[in-house]
């Protein structure tokens, strides 16, 4: 089965958050798909950790190495359809990309983002609860 994973899932795994083991169990043996924006969002999330003084450069580089080890197929999504979702649900485009990806691939969305989870359910998308 294919699963759409968002930034919150990957950050949780690479930073060893408490949900890591459960996420690994859910995704084990699955075809992981994410939007091509994931690559940039990981960098943005790490830079936000710098600003909050939660990590140093050494930890950031380790997180990037962990990220590179995760087998994720990055795909492009239709930006026009994503913008329609963003407009309709009053969300950021980068969140809409994951929703469009889940809709386009008819695959469940795995996210730790409560807002994204709520909109996915409103769109009648399959969401995996963590």
- What's the pTM value of the predicted model, to 2 decimals? 0.93
Whether the per-residue pLDDT at 130 is higher than 90: the answer is no
CATH topology of domain 2-128: Rossmann fold (3.40.50)
Tens digits of per-residue pLDDT, 12-33? 999 999 999 999 999 999 999 9
The residue whose two tokens read 């409103």 is 122
Which two structure tokens, joined as six digits, stand for 38? 């994931």
SS3 5: strand
Q: What is the pLDDT of residue 91?
A: 98
Whether the per-residue pLDDT at 9 is higher than 90: the answer is yes
d(C-alpha 23, C-alpha 28), whole Å:
8
Cβ pair 1, 31 in contact under 8 A: yes
């Amino acid at each position: 089965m294919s699963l759409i994973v968002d930034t919150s899932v990957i950050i949780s795994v690479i930073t060893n958050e408490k949900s890591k083991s459960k996420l690994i169990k859910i995704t084990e043996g699955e075809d992981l798909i994410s939007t091509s924006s994931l690559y940039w969002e990981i960098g943005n999330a790490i830079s936000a950790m710098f600003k909050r003084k939660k990590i140093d450069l050494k930890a950031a580089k380790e997180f990037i190495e962990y990220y590179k080890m995760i087998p994720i197929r990055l795909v492009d999504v239709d930006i026009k359809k994503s913008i329609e979702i963003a407009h309709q649900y009053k969300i950021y485009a980068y969140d809409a990309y994951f929703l469009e990806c889940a809709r386009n691939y008819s695959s469940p969305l795995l996210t730790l983002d409560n807002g994204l989870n709520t909109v996915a359910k409103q769109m009648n998308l399959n969401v995996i609860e963590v």
